Amino acid sequence: MKKPGEFYQRNRALHPPALTPGYKTSMGRSPRYSLISLQNSISEITGPVFGPADIDPGDNDLLSNYAQPGESPIGERIILHGRVMDENARPVPNTLVEVWQANAGGRYRHRNDGYLAPIDPNFGGCGRTLSDETGYFYFRTVKPGAYPWRNHVNNWRPAHIHVSVFGTGFVQRLITQCYFEGDPLIPHCPIVQTIPDPDAIEQLVARLDLNATIPLDTIAYKFDIVLRGRRSTLFENKLEGN
Amino acid sequence: MPQSLSYLRETASQTAGPYVHIGLSPGAAGFDIYRRELGHDICGPNARGERIRVEGVVIDGMNAPVKDVMLEIWQANAEGHYAHPEGGGPVEEGFRGWGRVISDFKTGEWGFDTVKPGPTPGRNIGRQAPYLNFWLVARGINIGLHTRMYFEDEAAANARDPVLNLIEWENRRATLIARRDDSGAVPVYRFDIRLQGEGETVFFDL
């Protein structure tokens, strides 16, 4: 019988490094010394556990979770769906997936966002859900708008949805951004381009999924998320003990 | 060509950005949407052990406070158990051991209440000194930073701790040790995190 062991070492080559001069804010917020590499102890193979009591069923519907009764936000109605898997291609069930985004005009409902596009009174811009037994999750929302940001004076963020995922161990913790197929701003974005690996960028681009639309109602994009996988230990290599 | 391996590749990280609060702590962003926000109560009402407060500020390479940081805490209870199927043993009802902490937008100061964790098993031999796991995200941080907070008043255990001892530069170990202040009703540990420059905090690749 194989026992679950440590998580695979993170492949740092497909993640952005800390220091990325094209994204100016990283200059002062990036450690200069090397990270100290640790093997997993009990605090790395464990992580917080969430259940249905933590959230409400409608939390994953951004079309309704902040709208006045009978109203809905302005914008292109979309389903964002996919699976949370690990590097072994196994589903990651019952894991918390949280999202946040700008509205269709590119404005965030946040006290610090002063962009001139208007707040949508029927759109909060956040949602959360638990993946099911097969790792599957879905949200209903509007497609976010592109917006300008201060980096260089003419930088525009491609349409994107921020995604936060837990997994089963705290070392799987991940925050990323989901982009949309065909967006011409993707190759121009300094934040996207912090990622050195072109395939890793492609993996952040949700694909139009016509089979998952609701005809005459809502279009769909598919966004799968891969978290770090775990070793199966054939031979006991004690993780803990005295 | 040899056979191919069928592993998937981990999804790449992207910065949490300046508006992380909308998704993970909407009250801080300025609106009320969920019945209950997650991560406000780390240890619950039934946790045994010493009640403590932890406070600090995250400081950037220009020596300025980071005012839009989000920290997550992951910790064992006073018996050294994590609230997880592989966590080493049972925990008190209501103890999750996980929390989310938002810095003040004006000052960068943050703080949270919890219980002091117990020592946990080491990988091979001995026990690890008590510590809190921290994970930081913010605008300008491309991939979340992992660090640990140890306790000043655990000097003997800290001196034996296998992870602290793995840090080759002894002077850098001090960046992970919070100072204890007993002048108030509850002990307060001060843990400032320096992202870059003089006194840069030790961060881990886990």
Going from N- to C-terminal start, the domains of chain B cover 9-194
Instruction: Show the CA angle centred on residue B100, arms to residues B94 and B104, nearest 5°.
Output: 135
**B127 pLDDT tier (thresholds 50, 70, 90):** confident
Contact A15 B143 (CB under 8 A): yes
> Does residue A108 carry a catalytic annotation?
yes
Query: CA torsion A231→A234→A237→A242, rounded to 10°?
Result: 110
Indicate the DSSP class of residue A154.
T
CA pair distance B38, A42, nearest whole angstrom: 23
Q: Are A9 and A131 in contact (CB under 8 A)?
A: no
Which residue of B16, B31, B128 is in closest CB contact with A175?
A: B16
pLDDT (tens digit per residue) in A117-169? 999 999 999 999 999 999 999 999 999 999 999 999 999 999 999 999 999 99
Question: Is the CB of residue A115 less than 8 Å away from at least one CB of chain B?
Answer: no
ipTM score of complex: 0.96
Question: Strand B70-74 to strand B98-102: parallel, antiparallel, or no bridges (unpaired)?
Answer: antiparallel
Question: Is the CB of residue B16 less than 8 Å away from at least one CB of chain A?
Answer: yes
CA pair distance B28, B102, nearest whole angstrom: 8
pLDDT (tens digit per residue) in A76-99? 999 999 999 999 999 999 999 999
Hey, which CATH number is domain B9-194, 3.30.930.10, 3.40.50.300, 2.60.130.10, 1.10.1040.10? 2.60.130.10
Which residue of B120, B138, B202 is in closest CB contact with A36?
A: B202
Mean pLDDT, chain B, whole residue set: 96
Residue B178 pLDDT > 70: yes
Question: Is the CB of residue B137 less than 8 Å away from at least one CB of chain A?
Answer: yes
CA pair distance A186, A100, nearest whole angstrom: 19
Residue A233 pLDDT > 90: no
**A70 pLDDT tier (thresholds 50, 70, 90):** very high
Which residue, among B168, B190, B196, has the nearest Cα to B177 in the 3D structure? Answer: B190
Selecting among A160, A179, A228, A230, the annotated active-site residue is A160
pLDDT the model gives residue B125: 66
CA distances from A165 to A34, A93, A226, A241, B13 (A): 25, 12, 10, 30, 11
Q: Are B147 and B201 in contact (CB under 8 A)?
A: yes
CA pair distance B55, B178, nearest whole angstrom: 9
The arithmetic mean of pLDDT across residues A98-124, rounded, is 97
Residue A162 bridge partners (DSSP): A100, A177
Determine the straight-line distance between the first and last CA of chain B, rounded to whole angstroms.
33
Radius of gyration of chain B from its Cα atoms, rounded to whole angstroms = 18
Which residue of B12, B85, B124 is in closest CB contact with A204?
A: B12
pLDDT the model gives residue B123: 78
CA pair distance A62, A53, nearest whole angstrom: 19
Structural domains present in chain A:
50-226 (2.60.130.10)
